[in-house]
Structure 1
């Protein structure tokens, strides 16, 4: 009896899983870079402190939402470079209205090095498809 019950339960589970389908009621999305229009940083950093970096971001339509910031690190002998991109989520919908809203958001940044920091904020691509950046240098005082 127990073996029959397990066979029926297994068959029912298999049919339930097999009957699931992906239909058009689900909302799909894609990640997209958003243009940063402005950033606010202090004139100098103090070693060991944590700062909030305020950023203005252009939201092109009502189907696009800000998701996160991507901060990539590189350096030279005399500076620490941080390349900052705003990552948005764009919903796959056909009826998106253009809004061109400017959103304000920010992220926390901890000063760990005594060398100057150069922030490169992604502002979009030029006419040839090359990325453009707003660059702000902030020296560190010990």
Structure 2
């Protein structure tokens, strides 16, 4: 009985390994920033609380999907400056319909400092390729 079990198991494993193709053509998507067109932040923050920040994003075509936010502290400004961008996924398909659709996503933000926060929401690039931002300041009480 053990021999039969080992034989069947070996055949099943060989079949499973043999049926997987390692000839992958590569990724069928790439990451791309989505433009932020609007952000809703509270008028004030309360120290120690966690807030939901709603953000409106622009999907340029039906192959773009929302994925995740990147909220980074500034490396050159004050510790209370946060650069916010949204990383989207764009499927690599032959035909993508242009839609220019606004979608909403959100992220959680914890207030850990008592000084006002400055949010710089990435809103796209200007004609010279330089990033542009929507800048919002939220005082902390």
Q: TM-score, normalised by structure 2?
A: 0.81
Q: 2:89 maps to which residue?
A: 89
Unaligned residue ranges in structure 2 (runs of 5+): 1-5
Q: 1:28 maps to which residue?
A: 28
Q: TM-score, normalised by structure 1?
A: 0.81
3-state SS, counterpart of residue 80 of structure 2? strand
Pair 1:80-2:83 in alignment: no
Unaligned residue ranges in structure 1 (runs of 5+): 1-5
Per-residue CA deviation, residues 55-86 of structure 1 (Å, 9 max, x unaligned), is 00001111110001011112778660110001
Per-residue CA deviation, residues 1-42 of structure 1 (Å, 9 max, x unaligned), is xxxxx9xx98x9679757743568987111100000000111
Q: 1:3 maps to which residue?
A: none
More strand by share: 1
**1:3-14 mapped onto 2 (5 Å cutoff):** none
1:44 is displaced (CA, Å) by 1.0
| Root mean square deviation of aligned Cα | 2.8
Q: 1:131 maps to which residue?
A: 131
